[in-house]
């Protein structure tokens, strides 16, 4: 393999591994903050135990997210020096704000929250976890703004052979970035909700801490219903924005080769990249894609043949990943709605509880598929329409990247096994028992 391909593989491995921990962190910290708020308002000690129990799972994810995020950012210098030189003025400023403002906010108050139990007033301690939640989500916004600029570059000028920032406000407020943020955040909250529901279902089935985990279940199911349904709506807006900002990505996600008015939406298709056509066209819904993406059933939808071959993204991976992601999104909404009607006495719905346990990995798969669509569908561009991935690499030997790639895979595998084993251990063990004086 050449150095660019190996560097892409290394970045993909690091990104997908990093994002195994980020979504649960983003969603769980908000639920923990809500649990502690209920404790502060009601004085019910069970909610304090809940905040501590789920907070422990949050801390494990937070630690791994920080470690893997730092190594991910280093790759812009080690593997993608051409990219950093060309757009560092823009991309670097966004990452700098994320690190110096958002990350410091969440990490500082997280330390206070961890060591402040029974040392601070209840209200101030509760405020600390809310500041962590705000900082975590604020941090995600800056990262997603940086990624969105790569997807849809705005607010820049080319000067002396480099892209330079000309309108910071345009970069951080562009619709593509705002919609992407809500799409990712809602997916993260949905993932966290299904993790909490899944582990709560495990304990309810075993008739352990029924009151404790029924309350956890109720909080999570609210998140699951609201966020999974909203994300379908936001996903539709995201698709429409993609049609304007990244038409080649949407064409590959839908496996559309020929430009047509009133383009059909294919429920199932088998993209053939060599012959550039679709099979199983009988399963298409007439004119639905033009209406869905462009808001007009008779609108012209540009197919991939409208662009040169060298500017088309890989179709098969983008198409399949997109279909699976969307299908899982609708599944989450359906299961969440069913769980909502069983929220008061979940122990009476044993089949549902088994389903929820089995569904714990599915949101992780869905968010990974989303990133595959995002990044693979952008190719061959590293900055859409501005800089190609082939021109963005560092001038290093392929064997050097091969060695670091092997090291990443080995170390991340060990870290992943250790992290998920630790998380599983605490989740299955359940909360600490009440002190004798409080029983």
* Complete DSSP assignment for 267-293: SS---BTTTTB-S-GGGEETTHHHHHH
Joined tokens for residue 152: 């849809």
Range of the domain at 381: 186-396
Position 112 in a domain: no
Give the total number of structural domains in the chain. Answer: 1
Q: How does pLDDT run along the chain (439 residues), one tens digit per residue?
A: 778 888 888 888 888 888 888 888 899 999 999 999 999 898 888 888 888 889 888 888 888 887 777 777 778 778 888 888 888 888 888 877 777 777 778 888 888 888 888 888 888 989 999 999 988 888 888 888 888 988 898 888 888 888 888 888 888 888 989 999 999 999 999 999 999 999 999 888 888 888 888 888 999 999 999 999 999 999 888 888 888 888 899 888 887 888 878 777 777 666 555 555 544 454 667 777 788 777 778 788 888 888 888 888 888 888 889 889 999 999 999 999 999 888 888 887 888 889 999 999 999 999 999 988 988 888 898 888 888 888 887 888 888 888 888 888 888 888 888 888 888 888 888 777 665 444 4
pTM of this prediction exceeds 0.75? yes
Write out the DSSP string of 172-239.
HH-HHHHHHHHHHHHHHHHHHHHHHHHHHHHHHHTT-SHHHHHHHHHHHHHHHHHHHHHHHHHHHHHH
Q: What pLDDT shows up at residue 226?
A: 94
Position 223 in a domain: yes
DSSP secondary structure code for residue 264 in this structure: P
Position 208 in a domain: yes
Position 384 in a domain: yes
Euclidean distance between CA atoms 22 and 28, whole angstroms: 10
State the virtual CA torsion across 39, 44, 50, 53 in degrees, nearest 10: 100
List all residues 6 or more positions away from 121 whose beta carbon is below 8 Å from its beta carbon: none
State the virtual CA torsion across 289, 294, 298, 302 in degrees, nearest 10: -70
Q: What pLDDT shows up at residue 363?
A: 93
Position 390 in a domain: yes
Position 14 in a domain: no
To 10 degrees, what angle do helices 22-42 and 45-78 make?
A: 150
Position 36 in a domain: no
Q: What pLDDT shows up at residue 184?
A: 92
Position 25 in a domain: no
**How crowded is the C-beta side of 30, counted as CA atoms within 13 Å?**
22
Q: What pLDDT shows up at residue 236?
A: 87
Q: What pLDDT shows up at residue 283?
A: 63
């Amino acid at each position: 393999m050449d150095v660019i391909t190996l560097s892409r593989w290394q970045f993909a491995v690091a990104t997908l591994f990093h994002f195994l921990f980020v979504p649960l962190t983003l969603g769980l910290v908000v639920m923990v903050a809500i649990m502690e708020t209920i404790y502060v308002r009601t004085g019910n000690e069970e909610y304090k135990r809940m905040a501590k129990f789920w907070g422990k799972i949050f801390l494990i994810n937070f630690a791994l997210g920080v470690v893997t995020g730092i190594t991910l950012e280093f790759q812009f210098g080690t593997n993608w020096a051409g990219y950093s030189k060309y757009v560092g003025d823009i991309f670097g400023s966004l990452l700098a704000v994320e690190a110096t403002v958002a990350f410091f906010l969440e990490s500082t108050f997280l330390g206070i929250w961890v060591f402040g139990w029974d040392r601070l007033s209840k209200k101030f301690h509760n405020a600390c976890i809310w500041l962590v939640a705000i900082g975590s989500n604020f941090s995600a916004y800056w990262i997603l703004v940086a990624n969105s600029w790569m997807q849809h570059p705005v607010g820049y000028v080319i000067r002396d052979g480099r892209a330079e920032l000309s309108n910071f406000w345009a970069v951080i407020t562009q619709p593509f970035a705002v919609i992407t943020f809500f799409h990712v955040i809602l997916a993260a909250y949905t993932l966290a909700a299904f993790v909490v529901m899944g582990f709560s279902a495990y304990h309810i089935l075993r008739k352990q801490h029924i009151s404790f985990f029924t309350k956890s279940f109720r909080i999570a199911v609210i998140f699951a219903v609201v966020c999974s349904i909203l994300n379908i709506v936001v996903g539709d807006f995201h698709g429409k924005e993609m049609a304007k900002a990244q038409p080649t990505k949407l064409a590959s996600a839908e496996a559309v080769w020929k430009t047509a008015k009133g383009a059909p939406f294919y429920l199932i298709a088998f993209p053939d990249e060599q012959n550039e056509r679709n099979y199983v066209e009988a399963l298409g819904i007439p004119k639905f894609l033009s209406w869905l993406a462009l808001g007009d059933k008779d609108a012209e939808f540009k197919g991939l043949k409208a662009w040169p071959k060298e500017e088309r993204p890989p179709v098969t991976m983008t198409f399949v990943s997109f279909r699976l992601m969307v299908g899982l999104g609708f599944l989450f909404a359906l299961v969440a709605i069913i769980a909502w009607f069983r929220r008061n006495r979940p122990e009476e719905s044993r089949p549902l509880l088994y389903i929820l346990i089995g569904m714990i990995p599915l949101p992780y798969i869905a968010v990974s598929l989303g990133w595959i669509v995002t990044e693979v569908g952008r190719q061959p561009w590293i900055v859409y329409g501005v800089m190609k991935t082939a021109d963005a690499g560092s001038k290093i030997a392929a064997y050097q990247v091969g060695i670091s790639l092997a090291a990443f895979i080995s170390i991340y595998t060990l870290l992943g096994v250790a992290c998920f084993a630790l998380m599983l251990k605490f989740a299955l063990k359940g909360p600490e028992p009440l002190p004798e004086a409080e029983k």
